[in-house]
Amino acid sequence: MENELKKMAEEMDFMKEVLSKQGGELAAMLQALRGLLFEVSLDSRQRQAVEGCLELRYSELLQRNVNPAFQVGFESVMELLHDCLKKPPSGYRSPSAGG
């Protein structure tokens, strides 16, 4: 019993480490994506293309029978992406504006 508890504790520590690392990676990726989308938003044709792509993917998603939690997650990210197209992330300095 004691060995099993020790093994479970080690597995939980490992999962915590992996999730923390992935969380940091996701946060960095999200910041990069937000900046990229804001840069795209400066060109109305590119912004419309990204918005059209999001709407198309959402339409395709609705045509399939997906898990409701997946749909909610997709909608949440889609809303976030739309927000990124409207305003720069906090502290963002545009490379196209000379840094």
Q: What is d(CA 81, CA 78) in angstroms, rounded to the nearest whole number?
A: 5
Q: Name 99's Cβ contacts closer than 8 Å, sequence gap at least 6.
A: 93
> Stretch 36-60: mean pLDDT, rounded?
87
Residue 30 pLDDT > 60 = yes
Predicted confidence at residue 56, as pLDDT, reads 93
The DSSP annotation for 11-41 comes to HHHHHHHHHHHHHHHHHHHHHHHHHHHHHHH
Length of the chain: 99
Predicted confidence (pLDDT) per residue in 52-82, tens digit: 988 999 999 889 888 888 889 889 888 888 8
Average pLDDT, the chain: 83
Q: Is the pTM higher than 0.85?
A: no
pLDDT score for 41 = 82
Distance between CA atoms of 36 and 33, rounded to whole angstroms?
Answer: 5
Confidence band for 98, pLDDT divided at 50, 70 and 90 = low
With contact defined as beta carbons under 8 Å apart, do 78 and 54 qualify?
A: yes
